[in-house]
Structure 1
C-alpha cells in the first residue's frame, strides 16, 4: 500500500463508513471558484486556499467538477487524459495538496468522473479511428452507414442533431451522445471496462473519497442499434430537455439505460468497497428517472446514491415538490436519493424559482427545505450567497450548448460565472485579471465578505442551519412522511429511532397561517434561524418561513 492509500484509510477512519447517507456535498466548478495564478481561470490551488471557507459552511464533502486534461470543448467533460490535471487547473501535486488540506479540515473529496465518453483527442480514440483492425478498434461505438449513406439509426445528440458522426478514415459513423468531439466508449468491450476501472483506481489511490458519476446511465447502448420510438406529444419537454431541442421528441430506450449497465456498476462498487468510507453518486437523466434511480441504488452492490433532474425544473409549487418526493419514495425502496436544486447545467434556482427580484428569504427557506428532505444533498457553489442567473451577451458566451441554441436557450454560462469573494476588489476578488466569464454587477452586494459580516445574511443562515441539522439525526437519516397542508406550504414528519420532527415550510411571498388539528402535541425547536409563532390550533409563518418542532403525540394532521 502506498502512502496516499494509507492516508485515505486513515482519513476514512475519522468518519462513519456511511457518512454519505444524509451527507451534504458542496459542488465546486473549478474554473469559477478562485484564480490563484492570474490567468482569469480558477484552479486547484485557488480551491485549496478557500477550503476553510467551505468547511465553515458545515458541509461534509466537496465535489470537484472535471479538472482533467482536456481540449475544453465542453469545459472538461471531454477528457483527453484521465490521469492528469489540465495545466489550466494546475498539476497532480496541486491536487494532492488539495486532498491533504481537505482531509485536515474534515472534508471528503469527490471527483467528477466522465466515463461514458472521452475527447476525440484522447489517444484511445486516435488509435481507434486509424483503422478497423488495431488493438483499440472496438473501444468506441462504430457502425456502418445505411445503404443510402445515412446514419445507422435515429439516435440524437443532447447538443442537437444526429448522435452519429461520419469518419472518413474508417468510413464508418461513431456515436456521440453529446458533442461530436465526445465519442462514446464501447462498454460492451471488456477491455474498455477493465481500463476504466483502472482509471478510477488511480484516483482512489491518490486519496479521493468518492465519485460523482456523470451520465451514469449512458455507459451501454443497444447492440442492435434499434431506432428510438417517438415520445408522446403530451410528454415532450417534461424533463430537463426543452422543446427547442429535438432530443425531447424521442423515448430514449435504446441509446441509454441498458440492462448491461448493472453488471458494470457491480464491478465499480467492488472496487469502491476496497477503499473504506468512499462513495458514489450517479447523475441520471432518463425518461423514467425514479425507476432507474431505484434500480441503480438497490442493495449494497450498485451505486450508493443517485440524483435526478426533477428538482432542477422550472416548477416551484409546493404541490409539485411533494409530488416529486412522494413519487420517488414510492419507487426507490431501499435505495438512497441525493437532492439538488441547482448545479452547473441549469439556471440558478434564485432566478428559476424566484424571478428577477428574488428575496433573500426565499434562498433561506429553499435551503432549509432541501436540507430537510430524506436523502443526501448537493449544494452548488454560490447558492449559499443567493446568486442569481447572470445574463451573458452572445458575444461573450463560452458554452457550445448556448451558442447552438441561442436565443431560445442561452446555455449554461449564466450559472457558471465566477464566485464573488470581495465586493469592492477588482473582479470581485476572483482574479487580478479579466475572468473567463464576466462577474455581473448584481452579484457584488452578495459577495462573501459582505455576507460574512452580516449575521442575518443567507451565507450565515446556511452555516447556522447546517450546524443545527447535525444535532437532529432525523433530518439526515430518518424516514419522511408528508402531511396535508394548505396551498403554497409543505409539511412532513422526519423520524429516526425515537426522534420525530415536524417540518413546515411556507413557499409563498405572503404570511400564512397553517391550521393544526388538536391534539397535536409539539415542542417547538430553536436554533435553526427561522421565526414563527405557535398559537392554539395553528402555526403562523411569515413569508418564506419555516417551522420545526419535536412531535410528542401520535396524531399527525395539519389542516
Structure 2
C-alpha cells in the first residue's frame, strides 16, 4: 500500500492504524463560525489551527471540517466552484497545510467535507456545460428537454422548495438541482464526471487528509428514464425533512439512492485504499429506509467505511425511539459500521430539540455520554461540549436561504451555526474582533469556553473527563451492544466484550430507580465524572435527573 500523504503523519504513527475510525470521536467544525483571525467576521483555517490545542485537550480523535473550497457562498460552501482551491474567505492552500500539520502534530486526524453530488453554477464545468449541447462537458450535468407544453421533464422537487428543474435559455433545456437553483447536479452516469470528482478527492488525499465526510452520499445518481416519483405512502416518512416541505410528500425512488451508486462507491473506496489509514463517513439524507441504504453503502471493506442518517437528528426523544433506531441498524447492516450524531450544522441543537433548552448543565453531559456509549463512531458538533442551545436568529439577520424560503414555520439552519463562544466578553465572545456574520446570543457567551474551563463542574469539564475515561474502555469504543428492557425514561444497554459494561441513562429530569437484580456481580465503574449512585447485585440503581451510571458484571456463558 502506498502512502502519498506525506511524512509528518507517518512519524507520529497516525497512518499505522487502519481501523482508527472505529469508535472514534469526530469533532465537527463549521469553519465560518469557529474562529476568525483576520477580523472579517467569518472564521478561517488559521482559526482552526489556533484552536487545535483545545480540540486535542477535548480528546477528539479527528476533526471533520465543513467545506472551505472556493465558492460563491450561496449555500455557504456547499456550492463548490473549484474543488482544488481554498476560498479566500477561509485563507489559502498554505493555511490548510499549516492547519493539517498542527492537527497531526497533536495526534488529531483531519477529515474534510467532499461535496460532489452537485457544484455551484459558477464552476467552470457548469459554465462550459450550459454554453451549448455539443461542447466537451455538455453531458457533465443532468439536462433534459421540456415537455411539449414547456413544463419540466417530471415531478421531481428540490429540498429547498419548488421544482428540482430550472430552465436554461442558452441550451433551451432544464437542468436538475436537488437543492438551490445555483447548485446544478452532476451527471454521475458520465464516467468522465466520476473521474473528475475522484481526481478532486485525490488532490486532498495527496495533501494529507485522513478521510472524507461525503455530503448527500445517496444523491449522486438519478434515474436515467426520469420517471415521476410516486406519492409517499401512508406510514412512511423522510428522515431529516420537515413535514411542511412538499418534498416530504414524495417517495423519492427515482431522483436518488439509485443502484448505480454502489459501483461508484467501490471506485471511491479503491482510491482511498491506495492511501494508508483513510476513512469516510457518508451522509444519507431524505431516505425512507436509512438502515437498508446504510447496509448497502457500508458493506464491509467494499464501499464507504461508515454512514449516518437523520434518525437520531429528529424531534422524537424517548428511550424506545433510540433503542429502535439502534437495534434496527444492528439487524440491518451486517458487517457495516455506524456513525451517530445528535447535532450538526443542518439540525436544531440537541439541547433545544430534545430538552427544550432546560437545565443544559445536566442534560448536555448525559446526551454526550449517551452518544459516545452507542456502538459506533460519534460526530460531536462544535458547541455540544459546551451545552449550547439553538440560537434564535431574527428574520432580519437570517443568512440561510433555506430558512428564508420556509419562514416562519421553519427558521432554517442559522440557529445552530452561530459563532463559537470563546470568552464571555467582547463584541463576538472571542470569535472575532469584528461584527460576526451571525450574532452570538448572550446565553451562548455566558457558556463560553473561558467560563467553563475554570469550572470543574461545567459541561466542558464533564466532556473532557468522559472522553478521556472512555478511551480506556475498549468495550465502549469497539464492543457490541445489547439492549435491556426497562420502563421509560430509562435507556439500558450493555457494551459487550471480555468485560461487559452496563450503561444506564435517565432521559428525564426526575429521579428514577432502576432495577438491576438480573445482573450478577454488578459493580460500579467510576472516573467518568458522573455522580456515583448506590447499587449492586439483586438491587437497584438510583439515578438523579439526567443521571448516568456504568458498571461491570459477571459475563454469563
Same fold (TM over 0.5): yes
Match of 2:473 in 1: 472
Cα distance in 1 for partners of 2:64, 2:254 equals 30
Of residues 394-403 and 426-435 in structure 1, the stretch that sits farther from structure 2 once superposed is 426-435
- Provide the secondary structure at the position in 2 that maps to 1:492: strand
Cα distance in 1 between the residues matched to 2:66 and 2:330: 28
Once the 2 structures are TM-superposed, how far is the Cα of residue 413 of structure 1 from its aligned partner? 0.2
Following superposition, the deviation at residue 443 of structure 1 comes to 0.8
Write the distance in 1 (CA, Å) between the matches of 2:489 and 2:389.
22
CA offset at residue 14 of structure 1? 5.4
Conserved? CA contact 1:9–1:276, under 8 Å: no
State the distance in 2 between where 1:380 and 1:203 align. 23
What is the rounded CA distance, in whole Å, between the counterparts of 2:139 and 2:6 in structure 1?
Answer: 33
Provide the secondary structure at the position in 2 that maps to 1:111: strand
**1:194 alignment partner, SS class:** helix
SS, match of residue 6 in structure 2? helix
* Maintained 8 Å contact 2:34/2:420: yes
For 1:327, what is the secondary structure of its paired residue?
Answer: helix
Is 1:508–1:543's contact at 8 Å kept on the other side of the alignment? yes
Stretches of structure 1 that go unaligned for 5 or more consecutive residues are: none
- Is the partner of 2:482 in helix, strand or coil? strand
Structure 1 segment 197-212 matched on structure 2, within 5 A: 197-212=198-213
- CA shift at 1:521, angstroms? 1.5
The yes-or-no answer on 1:213 pairing with 2:214 is yes
- Report the CA distance shift for 1:104/1:208 in structure 2 as closer, same or farther (over 3 A): same
Q: Report SS of the residue matched to 2:392.
A: coil
Deviation readout 1:6-47 (Å, 9 max, x if unpaired): 445445555511000111100000000010000000000011
The correspondence for 2:547, drawn from 545, 548, 552, is 545
Pairs within 5 Å for 1:489-528: 489-496=490-497, 498-518=498-518, 520-528=520-528
Structure 1 position 523, deviation (Å): 2.2
- The one-character-per-residue Cα deviations of 1:474-524 (angstroms, maximum 9, x if unpaired) are 00101000011121001111112x121111111111110011225622121
Native 8 Å contact 1:77 1:114 kept in 2: yes
CA contact (8 A) 2:5 2:275 kept: no
Q: Which residue of 1 aligns with 2:445?
A: 444
Tell me which residue corresponds to 2:353: 352
Distance in structure 2 (CA, Å) of the matches to 1:20 and 1:235? 32
Distance 1:15 1:476 in 2: 18
Structure 2-normalised TM-score? 0.97
Query: Secondary structure at 2:330's aligned position in 1?
Result: helix
Shift of 1:234: 3.5
Partner of 1:554: 556
Q: Show the counterpart of 1:224.
A: 225
Aligned length: 553
Aligned to 2:366: 365
Deviation per residue, 1:258-281 (Å, 9 max, x gap): 011011111100110011111000
Whole-angstrom CA distance in 1 between matches of 2:106 and 2:8? 14
1:483-494 mapped onto 2 (5 Å cutoff): 483-494=484-495
How far is 1:130 from its partner? 0.2
Contact 1:111–1:210 (Cα < 8 Å) also in 2? yes
Secondary structure at 2:84 match in 1 = strand
Q: Cα deviation per residue 1:439-465 (whole Å; 9 max; x = unaligned)?
A: 001111210001000001000101000
Task: Tell me the residue number matched to 1:29.
Answer: 30
Summarize deviations over 1:213-265 as a string: whole Å, max 9, x none.
Answer: 000011110000011010024434x5211121100000011000101101111
The offset of 1:299, in angstroms, is 2.2
Tell which deviates more after alignment, 543-552 or 84-93: 543-552
Q: Would the alpha carbon gap of residues 4 and 492 (structure 1) be closer, same or farther in structure 2, given more than 3 Å must change?
A: closer
Q: Does the Cα contact within 8 Å between 1:69 and 1:79 map onto a contact in 2?
A: yes
Q: Which runs of 5+ in 2 are unaligned?
A: none
The structural deviation recorded for 1:132 is 0.2
Q: How many Å separate the matches in 2 of 1:445 and 1:384?
A: 14
- 3-state DSSP of counterpart to 2:310: coil
Q: Determine the C-alpha separation between the residues in 1 that align with 2:387 and 2:251.
A: 36
Aligned CA distance change for structure 1 residues 518 and 377 (closer, same or farther; 3 Å): closer
Change (3 A) 1:12 1:213: farther
Q: Which has the larger displacement, 14-23 or 177-186?
A: 14-23
Q: How does the TM-score come out when normalised to structure 1?
A: 0.97
**1:137/1:10 CA distance change after superposition, 3 Å:** farther
CA contact (8 A) 1:523 1:552 kept: no
- 1:379-431 per-residue CA deviation (whole Å, 9 max, x = no partner) reads 00000000000111101000000000000000000000000000023310111
Deviation of the 1:359 alpha carbon: 3.0
Equivalent residue number for residue 430 of structure 2? 429
Residue 287 of structure 1: CA displacement? 1.3
Q: 2:358, 2:502 → 1: CA distance? A: 30
SS of structure 1 residue aligned to 2:461: helix
TM-superposed CA distance for 1:553, in Å, is 4.3
The equivalent residue for 1:529 is 529
Cα distance in 1, alignment partners of residues 301 and 470 from structure 2 = 27
Work out the CA distance in 1 between the residues paired with 2:518 and 2:384.
38
Whether contact under 8 Å (2:15, 2:276) holds in the other structure is no
Question: Does 1:416 find its partner at 2:417?
Answer: yes
- 1:90–1:515 distance in 2 versus 1, CA, 3 Å: same
CA 1:50–1:519 in 2, change beyond 3 Å: closer, same or farther?
closer
